[in-house]
Structure 1
C-alpha cells in the first residue's frame, strides 16, 4: 500500500509568517523576555527545526543575564518548556480563528489518495497539538481522522535529520519505496532524502530561494482547478512527470515509479538550464 506523507507548516498551510511568528512574539511579550523577532530574523529562525529549538537559539549568556533567567541547565529547560507550551496555546488559537487558509490542492490530493487506498500521514517537528490543529483546518475533521500523525518530540533529532520520517515509516510498516513526501523546505527535503524517500516540494513563504537539489518535483503549490483556480508553476521536474496546471495523485504515483527501485525506475532528466 503506497502512502502520502505531508509535512505540516508551509505544506498544509503557510503558517510560519502569520501563525508561528506572532505566537512566538506574543509569548516573549507575556513572559517579559527582551526580544521580538522581525520577519527578516524569523526567516533565518525557520531553518532551525522545532519550536523549542528555535527558542533555545536565544539563550546566549548575555540574553540569559538580561532576562534574569536561571543558569542551571535543568531550570532553563523548564523555562523553555513553559514558553513553548504557552506559544502552542497561542498558535492553536490563531489557527482555530480561521485567518490562515489551507494551501491549494492539499485537501484535493489527500482526498484522491484516500479514495485510492493510500495511507495518509503527517510528519512534522512541530508540537502535536499545533500539527493537529493545522491538519483539521486543511483537511476537515472527517479526512483529518484518516491521517496518522507523527509530531513533536517523538524523535530526539529534528529535521534535517531523517529521524521523523524513519519513525513514520516504521510505524506505518512501509518501505521507503512505497511513500511520497510533500515538503516545503530544504531541511524537510534533506530529512526525507535521508530516510530514502521520494520527495516533492511545494515552496512556501520563506523557502522559495532554497536549494531543492534531489527533489523529485518542485512546484509553487499543488494547485487547484476552478472555481478557486490556483496554477501549480513547475520549478523543477527531473523525472519528467509533466504535471498540468495542478498536481494530481497520478503525478505523485509517477514519481514513485520513476524514482524506483525496480524495473520501471529511470534516471532523472538533465536539469533544464533555462530560467523558470
Structure 2
C-alpha cells in the first residue's frame, strides 16, 4: 500500500510567518518579556530546532536575562520555558482556529485524493501535538483530519534532522519504505526523511527556498491545484514530469527514484541509528 507522510509547519500551512511568529510575539507581550522578533530575526531563529529551544536562545543575551529577571537555576529556567511554550502553543492554536494561517495550495486536494485511493496518509512533526492537529484540521477539515494519524510532540527524543519521528511512523503504521513518500519543506526535514530511508518531495516556502535540497527526488513551489497557479518545478531528479499541479501519479512516480540507504540498526526510536553526517544549516522544520 502506498503511503504519504507530511511534515506540518510550512507544509500543511504557511505556519511560520502567519502562525508561529505572531504567536511567539503575542506570548512575549502577554508575559511582559522585553523582546519582539522581526521576520528577519525569526528566520535566523528557525535555524534552531524547537520552539522551546528558540525561546531558550534568549537566555544567551545577558541584557534580556537581567531585564526579564531570568533565574540562574537550570531547573527554574526549564519550568519557565515550559510555561512560556504552553502559552505560545495556546496563542498559535487560537490563530489557526481563527483562520489566520492559510493552508498551502494542494494540501486538501492531495490528502483527500490519497485517502480515497486507499493510501495511508499521516503527519509526522516534532511540533507540539495540539498545534499540529489544529493546522491539519484547518487545512483539510475535521472529517478528513480524523482519518489521518498524527505523530507529534515529544514522542521521540530528538528533533529533525534526526530520523526518529519518521522511523516511529513507519513502525507504528507498518509501512514499507519502498512504498512511502514524505513531503517536507526544509533541509533538516529532508535529511530526517532520507536518513529514515525514505524518498522525499520538498515544497519550498519563503524561509526555505534557498536551502540545499540535493537529496530530494522532487522540489516544487507547492503541490498546486487545478484552478490555481501552475507549480514551479525547481528540481526533478526522477524525472517525474510534473504538469500544472502535482498529482497522485506524480507522487507514485517519486518511488522510482533511488532509495536512500536504510538506517543501520540501533536507533533509539525504533531500533535504528541516525546517520552521523552533516545535519545541514537550515531550520529543523518543526517543534515550534
TM-score by length of 1: 0.91
> How far has the Cα of 1:257 moved from its partner?
2.7
2:199/2:257 contact within 8 Å kept: no
Residue number in structure 2 paired with 1:17: 17
How do 1:109-124 and structure 2 match up within 5 A?
109-124=110-125
Kindly provide the CA deviation profile for residues 167-210 of structure 1, in whole angstroms up to 9, marking residues without a partner as x: 11111112322210000111111111111111000001211111
CA distance in 2, matches of 1:130, 1:218: 26
Task: Within 5 Å, give how 1:124-273 maps onto structure 2.
Answer: 124-226=125-227, 229-260=228-259
Deviations 1:200-251 (A, max 9, x none): 000012111111110000000101012xx12111000011110111000111
Q: Find the aligned partners of 2:176 and 2:162 in 1 and give their Cα distance.
A: 18
1:154 aligns to what SS in structure 2?
Answer: coil
Report the counterpart of residue 58 of structure 1 in structure 2: 58
How many Å separate the matches in 2 of 1:251 and 1:6? 16
Residue 267 of structure 2 is matched in structure 1 by none
Instruction: Find out whether 1:95 has 2:96 as its counterpart.
Output: yes
Deviation of 1:260 after TM superposition, in Å, equals: 4.7
In 1, Cα distance between equivalents of 2:50 and 2:84: 13
CA positional deviation for 1:155:
1.1
Instruction: Give unpaired runs (5+ residues) of structure 1.
Output: 262-276
- What is the alpha-carbon distance in structure 2 between the residues aligned to residue 182 and residue 244 of structure 1? 18
How far did 1:258 drift? Answer: 3.0
Answering whether residue 102 of structure 2 is matched by residue 85 of structure 1, we say: no
| Contact 1:50–1:152, Cα closer than 8 Å, also in 2 | no
Q: In the aligned structure 2, how far is the partner of 1:87 from the partner of 1:100?
A: 15
User: Does structure 1 conserve the Cα–Cα contact (< 8 Å) formed by 2:199 and 2:259?
Assistant: no
2: CA distance, partners of 1:49 / 1:176: 25
Identify the residue that residue 31 of structure 2 maps to in structure 1. Answer: 31
How does the TM-score come out when normalised to structure 2?
0.87
Contact 1:219 1:234 in 2 (8 A): yes
1:108, distance to aligned residue in structure 2 (A): 0.8
Q: Contact conserved, 1:182 with 1:200, CA < 8 A, in 2?
A: yes
Residues 225, 246 of structure 1: 8 Å contact kept: yes
Q: Which structure is richer in relative contact order (CA contacts within 8 A, separation 6 or more)?
A: 2
Report the number of matched residues.
Answer: 259
| Poorly superposed stretches of 4+, deviation over 2 Å | 63-66, 257-261
1:100 & 1:60 partners in 2: Cα distance?
30
Tell me if the contact between 1:184 and 1:204 (Cα under 8 Å) persists in the aligned partners: yes
Alignment-derived partner of residue 73 in structure 1: 74
